[in-house]
Structure 1
Amino acid sequence: MMIGSSNKRLMSDINVTPFVDVMLVLLIIFMVTAPMMVQGVNVSLPETTAQPLPSEKEHLIVTIDQKGQVHISNYPVAMESLRHKLSKILEGRSDREVYLRADKKIPYGNVVKVMAEIKAAGVEKLGMVTVPIDETPADR
């Protein structure tokens, strides 16, 4: 038996504490920022008696807000580049279908200009988004 011998084995365990710390910080960051990512463009839609269409897939939506700014899926787009950007987006899609959400206070002429740009981009089907008359503003 050797007196005073030291155990010189290497420690092979990995310290995961820093990894867990980083993961928890990332989790908190994503939890805080995720609700901000789902906010859309605030638009007061016109009312109609038409019933909503059933749908399982996500549609491409062009929005005209109260200030007349055009958005494609909540991303602002200049009117001059709307046709080009829509054409690029539609290249990778099997359905060439777009839905237009226009604030009810926007002049009809501006809505028609946006509709013309959408059709010029090669859209085969253009739908208008409205809300039912009996729906309250808080439900929108």
Structure 2
Amino acid sequence: MNLGPGNGRRSRGRAPMSEINVTPFVDVMLVLLIIFMITAPLLVTGIPVDLPESRANALDQEQEPVQISVDQQGRIYLDDQEMSRNDLSARLNAIAAQQSPENPRQIMLRGDKSLDYGLIMGVMGELNRAGLNRVSLVTTGSSE
């Protein structure tokens, strides 16, 4: 019976492994993915607002939207800067003057769910008066 080269003797050494082991790399990438998935929603907003829930899908956007937030006390913020309703009107007019007709600015309106409906409609009226008509009401996702 022939047992192959060496006739049953032990080989002198193992052949070098020529493949790259990517398992540690994949493990690190999965940990980073989980960290970014957890921290990314926390970095989105600067003004604490208790948003209502909705089943609507997220919108696709080409440019960074303008964030308008109204907190529980009725204070109005443009991005992260607090302002009065008169100042808001002037800033919205300036934003509307900078937009192009073929690519209008997207406005994200975030209002606390405990607010009076009239306050949010007043802000929407200011947006409409300035000519900013691409307004999205921001909500949290539904758990159903």
Give the ranges of 4+ consecutive aligned residues of structure 1 lying more than 4 Å apart after TM superposition: none
Structure 1 residue 63 displacement after superposition? 0.7
RMSD: 2.1
Output aligned runs, 1:23-62, within 5 Å. 40-62=46-68
AA partner of residue 125 (structure 2)? A
Distance 1:96 1:51 in 2: 19
Distance 2:95 2:86 in 1: 16
TM-score in terms of structure 2 length: 0.62
Structure-1 residue corresponding to 2:125: 116
AA partner of residue 67 (structure 1)? Q
Distance 1:117 1:54 in 2: 24
- Extract unaligned runs of 5+ from structure 1: 1-37, 136-140
- Extract unaligned runs of 5+ from structure 2: 1-43
Identity %: 33
Secondary structure, counterpart of 2:128 in structure 1: helix
Is 2:104 the partner of 1:102?
no
Query: Which among 68, 76, 86 is matched to residue 70 of structure 1?
Result: 76
Residues 77 and 83 of structure 2 are in contact (CA less than 8 Å); yes or no, is this contact kept in structure 1? Answer: yes
For residues 21-76 of structure 1, give each alpha carbon's deviation from its aligned partner in whole angstroms, at most 9, with x where no partner exists.
xxxxxxxxxxxxxxxxx861111111011111233421011110111001111111
Higher alpha-carbon Rg: 2
Secondary structure, counterpart of 1:61 in structure 2: strand
Secondary structure, counterpart of 2:56 in structure 1: coil
Residues 82 and 118 of structure 1 are in contact (CA less than 8 Å); yes or no, is this contact kept in structure 2? Answer: no
Distance 2:45 2:70 in 1: 15
